[in-house]
Amino acid sequence: MKPTPLFLALVLSLTLAACGKDKPAEPAAAVPADTATTAAPPMPMEPGQGAAGHVDVAAAGAIAESGHDLYAAKCIGCHGGSGEGLAGNPKLAGLSNADIQSRLTDYRAGRKLGPRTAIMAGMAKPLSDAQIAALASYLGE
């Protein structure tokens, strides 16, 4: 009698299910009593923010991401490696620094600029002014 594919699949799945069952489960580590009552560490400040909540412009500039890094992380998938625009997404190459900065600021503010506003608003919303300026200076001509 010839084994059926269903039978072979059943044997394979049972074999795989049995893998790794040789070792008993390790018990969860107990939390020492003295650490259970300690307070959580204070939340870190925003980058470039001083102790009183004032923004230190020099510190913010020192930690700002480069426009190239931001573009690679957030934009390249839709707009292409050189800003040529992919899959019907707009071309960014050739736009001015001011135009890019204005559009990103408008998207971040929720202004409708075109059919892909919802996508761009979601991308621009978390960007800081410094990040928008870095992207504009990287892309703009």
Q: Which domain holds residue 98?
A: 59-139
In a domain, 89, yes or no: yes
- Under the banding of pLDDT at 50, 70 and 90, the label for residue 123 is very high
Q: What is the pLDDT of residues 57-109, one digit of tens each?
A: 444 443 457 989 999 999 999 999 989 989 889 999 999 999 999 999 999 99
- Under the banding of pLDDT at 50, 70 and 90, the label for residue 3 is low
In a domain, 11, yes or no: no
In a domain, 51, yes or no: no
In a domain, 109, yes or no: yes
The structural domain count of the chain equals 1
Cα atoms found within 13 Å of the Cα of residue 113, Cβ hemisphere only: 20
In a domain, 71, yes or no: yes
Instruction: Give residue 55's region: left, alpha or beta (phi > 0; psi -120 to 50).
Output: beta
Residue 82: closest CA among 73, 72, 74, 97: 72
CATH number of the domain within which 89 lies: 1.10.760.10
In a domain, 108, yes or no: yes
CB atoms within 10 A of CB 133: 19
Q: Is the pTM of this model over 0.85?
A: no
List all residues 6 or more positions away from 107 whose beta carbon is below 8 Å from its beta carbon.
113, 117, 120, 121, 123, 124, 125
In a domain, 115, yes or no: yes
Chain centroid to Cα 103, Å, comes to 20
In a domain, 92, yes or no: yes
Does pLDDT of 137 surpass 80?
A: yes
Does pLDDT of 28 surpass 80?
A: no
